């Protein structure tokens, strides 16, 4: 019933990715993604495709002093993990936060697709 190799669950992988995000550890964060993974908004627009583009995109975020993601709710269904998060950020206009709905597809222990829906930003 179980493989001889213990593989990380989708939920565990997404938690590792969230922990790496909050630690601003680019290498650990990228290690959660397949090299050809794609990040999209919920309308299908590509935000980043592959490790190089994802690294460029996340490097800008990780430069923000107050960046932190708070997990509000997590739903797991097979290879899909959906997180509802509250992200504290340093926007050009000042410190604030934005709600984020993240839907991750995990295959063979790596994120292959991530979809993001951003809420309205609120400045402090």
- Identify the CATH assignment for 10-123 out of 3.40.50.720, 3.10.450.50, 3.30.70.260, 3.90.1300.10: 3.10.450.50
Q: CB under 8 Å to 110, separation ≥6 — which residues?
A: 13, 32, 33, 34, 37
Rg of the Cα atoms in the chain:
15
Supply φ then ψ for residue 44, to 5 degrees: 100, 0
pLDDT at residue 6, as a whole number? 64
- The mean per-residue pLDDT over the stretch 92-100 comes to 97
pLDDT at residue 113, as a whole number? 99
Q: Tell me: the pLDDT tens digits for 2-26?
A: 443 468 999 999 999 999 999 999 9
- The mean per-residue pLDDT over the stretch 87-107 comes to 98
Assess contact for 103 and 13: CB atoms under 8 A. Answer: no
Higher pLDDT, 3 or 111: 111
Assess contact for 97 and 122: CB atoms under 8 A. Answer: yes
- What does the domain layout of the chain look like in residue ranges? 10-123
- The mean per-residue pLDDT over the stretch 107-120 comes to 98
Q: Tell me: the pLDDT tens digits for 22-74?
A: 999 999 999 999 999 999 999 999 999 999 999 999 999 999 999 999 999 99
pLDDT at residue 7, as a whole number? 83
């Amino acid at each position: 019933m179980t493989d001889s190799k213990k593989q990380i669950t989708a939920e565990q992988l997404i938690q590792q990715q969230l922990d790496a995000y909050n630690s601003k550890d680019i290498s650990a964060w990228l290690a959660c993604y397949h090299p050809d993974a794609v990040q999209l908004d919920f309308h299908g627009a590509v935000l980043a495709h592959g490790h190089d583009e994802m690294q460029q995109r996340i490097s800008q975020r990780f430069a923000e002093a107050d960046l932190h993601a708070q997990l509000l709710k997590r739903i797991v269904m097979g290879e899909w993990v959906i997180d509802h998060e509250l992200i504290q950020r340093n926007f050009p206009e000042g410190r604030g936060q934005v709600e984020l709905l993240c839907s991750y597809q995990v295959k063979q222990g790596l994120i292959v697709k991530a979809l993001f829906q951003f809420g309205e930003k609120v400045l402090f």
